[in-house]
């Protein structure tokens, strides 16, 4: 039983489990307690958002699919690299099927069963040591791109043609305008600071020429008997 001077106040929605406050009706005390709980709740939300961003997530929704391995390496004989200041940008015409993925990994994988695509790929690497941080797979089916943590993991992001249009055009736009931001997202902060926009712009005509040459060879049959590797 409470006196006429006591009130029971439920905490806000973000209150601690089972808590109710019994306090005097002094308005300044009530406001102080509520403010204390608000500050605690906001700090918990901020900390949670920070942890999610560190895990390559947005404030609520996850960005892409995080996989605890690195992408299949480019095939050297199919890849030509173009220097762009501190960057080396590889241009490759890639063909990927279930069998090729399993052969490259040396084990049977169930992660990409049913995968059968081909198209131009861009590999964005550090020219000093060849480490790859970004990959744009501009495939005819399942187009996507990668943020790569070398030797550890990758973030695979599915490309949305409906909202963004042709992926090759979009990828070239990223080279022109978004490389520092995307390299930072991949964790390559030092390399991001050294990007030379003019050098990247100067390299794009050769990148386009190499990709057009790859397409000129014609698509590869992706049937069961395909021997492409």
- Return the CA Rg of the chain: 26
Residue-wise pLDDT for 123-151, tens only, equals: 999 999 999 999 999 998 889 999 999 98
Query: What are the residue boundaries of the structural domains of the chain, listed by start?
Result: 6-54, 67-216
How confident is residue 221, by pLDDT bands cut at 50, 70 and 90?
very low
Q: Is the dihedral of CA 207, 212, 218, 221 positive or negative?
A: positive
Residue with tokens 């590869």: 220
Q: What is the predicted pLDDT for the residue at 24?
A: 46
DSSP state, residue 227: -
Buried b (16+ CB within 10 A) or exposed e, 102-118: eeeeeeeeeeeeebbbb
Q: What is the predicted pLDDT for the residue at 215?
A: 52
- Who has greater pLDDT, 57 or 74? 74
pTM of the model: 0.67
Provide the 3-class DSSP secondary structure of residue 218: coil
Q: Distance between CA atoms of 16 and 12, rounded to whole angstroms? A: 9
Tokens of 58: 């947005």
Q: What is the predicted pLDDT for the residue at 64?
A: 84
Provide the 3-class DSSP secondary structure of residue 58: coil
* Total number of residues shown for the chain: 229
Residue-wise pLDDT for 20-60, tens only, equals: 444 444 666 666 666 766 666 565 544 444 444 444 455 66
* 8 A C-beta contact, residue 145 and residue 157: yes
Q: Distance between CA atoms of 189 and 182, rounded to whole angstroms? A: 10
């Amino acid at each position: 039983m409470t006196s006429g001077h006591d009130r029971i106040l439920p905490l806000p929605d973000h209150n601690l489990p089972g808590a109710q406050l019994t306090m005097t009706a002094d308005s300044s005390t009530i406001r102080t307690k509520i403010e204390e709980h608000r500050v605690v709740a906001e700090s918990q939300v901020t900390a949670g958002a920070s942890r999610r961003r560190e895990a390559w997530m947005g404030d609520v929704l996850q960005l892409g699919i995080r996989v605890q391995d690195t992408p299949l390496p480019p095939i050297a004989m199919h890849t030509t690299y173009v220097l762009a200041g501190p960057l080396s940008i590889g241009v490759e015409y890639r063909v990927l099927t279930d069998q090729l993925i399993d052969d490259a990994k040396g084990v049977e994988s169930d992660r990409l069963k049913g995968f059968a695509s081909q198209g131009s790929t861009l590999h964005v690497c550090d020219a000093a040591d060849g480490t790859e941080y970004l990959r744009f797979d501009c495939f005819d089916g399942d187009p996507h791109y990668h943020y790569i943590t070398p030797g550890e993991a990758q973030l695979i992001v599915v490309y949305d043609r409906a909202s963004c249009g042709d992926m090759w055009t979009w990828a070239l736009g990223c080279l022109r305008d978004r490389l520092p931001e995307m390299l930072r997202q991949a964790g390559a902060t030092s390399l991001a600071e050294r990007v030379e926009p003019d050098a990247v712009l100067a390299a794009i005509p050769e990148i386009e020429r190499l990709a057009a040459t790859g397409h000129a060879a014609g698509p590869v049959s992706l049937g069961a008997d395909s021997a492409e590797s």
